[in-house]
Structure 1
Amino acid sequence: MYNIYYYGIKGLIYMKPFKKISVSDLKPGMVTAQDFVINNTNLITKNYLMDMAVINKLNLNYAAYDIYVYCPENSSPHYKEKKRFEALQNSLNDISSCIEETFTFANEKQSISIDQIRSISNDIISLLDSKNNIVKCINLPRDFKKYLYTHSTNVALLSMLIAQWMKLDQKTVSLICHSAMLHDIGKTAIPISILEKKGPLTKSEFKLCETHALKGYEIVKNTPFINPAILQGILFHHERLDGTGYPMHLKEDKIPNFARIIAVADTFDAITSNHAYKQKTSPLHALATIKDCSLNKLDPLICHILIMNIAKFYEGQSIILSNDRIGELIKINMDNLLYPIICVDNEVIDLSKNHSLSIKDFV
């Protein structure tokens, strides 16, 4: 099987497979992928739709010859991958809707259903085999008015990925999912006018937003059979190693492990998401920010694990440069994450030596 590729406005956007078969194997409805030329005579043009009459004529004299035809689109690897990606998107949208229902209930009743949380968590865990597509889905543009729910979904996914990369046991991965999913549930108690404000928050508005960690803890703490580690992740996910976080200004090893993991996942998704007050930035900027924060704010080991594994995904991806040209990211420089090695029109460029270019986005 062969593939046809071409570049469009957004880069490599189309792939149509074709194959070589015997003329005797032609079927009505097949479409030629190349001209059918015998003895310098073009008998059938490219993109010709075969019918029985033409097939019978070809079989009279050319049955032993080969001809190129397009494969049915729904049998191509590209088509199947596209359908898998669409199915994952639909699943994530459904999960975000379930989280929205959970948060709405929590805001009204000041409690949650642990059975519902387990059910949503199981749905999220079932998606973890699609790691590459998960990273791709997380970086898609989204409606900022649904940010709270998609962000909660994404942080749960990223936190579980980090836990898996840390080789934590399955029970712990599941509990981290619970905690990460609920880490921002306290924001249901913050006025929507503040959450969706277009512009910087005032000092008093920012202080009110900071109460969401404690408010979330208060909502969840009385849930029967709730694991204490889940509560710790919710309450402490904004604590920082240098004591500059909130709500209790914990330092270093006083910050529980769940909170450390959720903090890194939360930071990555927040930077790569659209908000009411800012547009998302490149995942490479997110990785660079996390690396800087690993010096004194975020857990350095967890930051390193995220950076190394996410970087592997982006290597080989199509990119849009600051001059709107399309290229491919070849290698990420771990010492200088914003300036990887790229390839544009068969030219290899080290961005660390060419600061006139930068990566604007991924295709």
Structure 2
Amino acid sequence: MEKIYVGVNEDILGSYLGEDVYSVGGNMIVPSNTIITDYILKKLVDFRIDKIFIYNSNPVHGDEYLSNEKLNQDQKKYIEDVNVAKQMLQDLASGKKLDFSKAEDISEHIYSKINDCGSLMDCVNSVRIADSYTYSHLVNVSVYSMLLGKWLGFGKKQLKEIVMAGLLHDVGKARIPEEILNKKGALTDCEYEIMKRHTVYGYEIVKGIKGISMDIKRAVIMHHEKEDGTGYPFGIKGSQKNLYSKIVTVSDIFDAITSERVYRGRQTPFTAFKELENVGFETVDPKIMMALFTNMPSYYVGSKVKLKNGEIGEVVYVPNQCAYAPVIRVNEDFVDFSKEKEELIKEFL
């Protein structure tokens, strides 16, 4: 994919950076593959960057790219949050300390949408940024964790902390070698043991930072612990996990299944509901899983989907007692997934 050298002006809005941009002092300003929004353009101008490399086409998968003109304000802000998360982790990977102010900016924005969660879910479902899973995952888990906290009846202080717990849960991945983090295929036993260390690395990163509560720190280190004690890093049971870590566990699994990964395509939320039910109460807290099953499906009613046979349908109903079995309207017909033996949806549109 060819890169072109261009001046920094409004003509580059909606383009993707072709390489990392650094300040005169050698600090990274904006990482490569970042979409240039108004916020990013202002940042480049403020640092007196005159020219940059951009891609002459869009480094994204298929036709999922949304030009800057087609993005609404919430989508633009979501992209900015993902880009800030990306820079936060890349700074950590380069040996710097966690810039907690960046995490606060992202979490404050997410919490500000507590009464307009539909717009956040639209961003999570519709915006795809090239090579961004590790970074968008932090933002998405933060959004899902806030939703779960809201459905469970938490107050403002707890909700803000849950947002932060979701955002920081995987910061330890900044210390995992990139060849392991982005490997296309199954990890070897040795690689998996290295990957598992991200929970401990994450705790080491956040433990000394003022403003991060112990509940958040416990979520960072415990989000891969399972209810039956077969998780890591300690192998503790659910009775020893705090509530924040239980919420982040469910959010983490749900986003991992429904996101594009280097080794497989994104799965539908209904597949995620089914897989969560399959791992069941041995892995996640039943109260939190049921909060997800009862409330999350409403965000997908009205969504357009493409079936595996090529037909286009619309989600018209999702039963609370069977969240993975929606009813899809195709033309004048209705397909009840509770009566089907396999997943028929290819993708959400």
Gaps of at least 5 residues in structure 1 are: 1-82
Tell me by how many angstroms 1:97 deviates: 1.3
Helix, strand or coil: the match of 1:208? helix
Q: Is 1:223 the equivalent of 2:209?
A: yes
Helix, strand or coil: the match of 1:250? coil
Q: How does 1:122-201 map to 2 (within 5 A)?
A: 122-140=108-126, 142-143=128-129, 145-201=131-187
Pairs aligned (count): 282
The ranges of structure 1 where at least 4 consecutive aligned residues each deviate by more than 6 angstroms after the TM superposition are none
Structure 2 CA distance, aligned partners of 1:300 and 1:333?
18
Amino acid at match of 1:127: K
The answer to whether the Cα contact below 8 Å between 2:227 and 2:281 also exists between their aligned partners in 1 is no
Amino acid at match of 2:274: A
Q: TM-score if structure 1 supplies the norm length?
A: 0.72
Structure 1 CA distance, aligned partners of 2:288 and 2:343?
30
Amino acid at match of 1:259: S
Gaps of at least 5 residues in structure 2 are: 1-68
- Match for residue 300 of structure 2? 314
Q: How does 1:36-75 map to 2 (within 5 A)?
A: none
Q: What is the RMSD of the two structures over their aligned residues, measured on CA atoms?
A: 2.2
Q: Quote the sequence identity (%).
A: 31
Within the candidate set 234, 242, 256, 2:228 is matched to 242
Tell me by how many angstroms 1:354 deviates: 4.6
- Match for residue 116 of structure 1? 102
Tell me by how many angstroms 1:116 deviates: 3.3
Q: TM-score if structure 2 supplies the norm length?
A: 0.75
Helix, strand or coil: the match of 2:202? helix
**1:302-324 Cα shifts (integer Å, max 9, x gaps):** 11111211111212322222211
Q: Is 1:333 the equivalent of 2:319?
A: yes
Over alpha carbons, which structure has the higher Rg?
Answer: 1
Structure 2 CA distance, aligned partners of 1:308 and 1:85?
30
Helix, strand or coil: the match of 2:347? strand
| CA shift in 2, pair 1:349/1:302, >3 Å | same
Helix, strand or coil: the match of 2:314? strand
Structure 2 CA distance, aligned partners of 1:184 and 1:353?
38
- Match for residue 16 of structure 1? none
Helix, strand or coil: the match of 1:360? strand
- Match for residue 42 of structure 2? none
**Stretch moving more, 173-182 or 351-360:** 351-360
Structure 2 CA distance, aligned partners of 1:123 and 1:150?
15
- Match for residue 73 of structure 2? 87
Helix, strand or coil: the match of 2:199? helix
- Match for residue 189 of structure 2? 203
Within the candidate set 331, 346, 352, 2:332 is matched to 346
Tell me by how many angstroms 1:255 deviates: 0.8
The answer to whether the Cα contact below 8 Å between 1:160 and 1:177 also exists between their aligned partners in 2 is yes
Amino acid at match of 1:341: V
- Match for residue 3 of structure 1? none
Helix, strand or coil: the match of 1:296? helix
Structure 1 CA distance, aligned partners of 2:230 and 2:326?
32
Helix, strand or coil: the match of 1:214? helix
| CA shift in 2, pair 1:322/1:168, >3 Å | same
Within the candidate set 264, 270, 274, 2:250 is matched to 264
Tell me by how many angstroms 1:325 deviates: 0.9
Structure 1 CA distance, aligned partners of 2:149 and 2:105?
19
